[in-house]
Amino acid sequence: MAIILPDLPYAYDALEPYIDAETMTLHHDKHHATYVANANAALEKHPEIGEDLEALLADVEKIPADIRQALINNGGGHLNHALFWELLSPEKQEPTAEVAAAINEAFGSFEAFQEVFTTAATTRFGSGWAWLVVNAEGKLEVVSTPNQDTPISDGKKPILALDVWEHAYYLKYRNVRPNYIKAFFEIINWNKVAELYAEAK
């Protein structure tokens, strides 16, 4: 067995005009595929640890030292992207009642959440991700991580993710990351967020 690159759950152009088809093609077929290949190469060196990336990245100190950073980078890259694709929707959706209530409880309002999330995504220096997570206390929290680090490694369960590496947006938005973040809110798959929230609570 090996980690497999998942198909996108929609066509490459399905997220137009918010994310262009060329970006989606390069992002999925090249960038994500490279993370999968490199994660598999690392895992082949230590077949005894298995291939459960979530379990491995939940306790990175148990990953053999010679492949630890490779799995943080590439195993994380695979998990993050596999989740990211599922969190995007060609059809405009609204947060479910349960998710909306949880957001209001944690942040005061949806607008306040959007502002906190946007700030986390905008101010992530260099490459990384912005996340809405369920923390160890079962509460919603916005965090950001560098590179391909996953909140799973900090004991948090991601339910919404935004890739702010330049490869995710530069062809369309150039250096104006805030416009990409604004567009992201038009294509969130809130039904998937609700599913992940129900599992994480």
Q: Annotated binding site for Mn(2+): which residue ranges?
A: 27, 81, 163, 167
> What is the Cα–Cα distance from 187 to 173, expressed in whole angstroms?
16
DSSP H helices, the chain, are 21-26, 33-44, 53-58, 65-70, 76-86, 97-107, 110-123, 170-173, 177-184, 190-200
Please compute, for residue 37, the number of CA atoms within 13 A of its CA located in the half-sphere on the CB side: 7
User: Within 10 Å of residue 132's Cβ, how many Cβ atoms?
Assistant: 29
Q: What residue has token string 């995504």?
A: 121
Please compute, for residue 59, the number of CA atoms within 13 A of its CA located in the half-sphere on the CB side: 4
Which residues are part of a known binding site? Answer: 27, 81, 163, 167
Q: Is residue 142 within 8 Å of 120, Cβ to Cβ?
A: yes
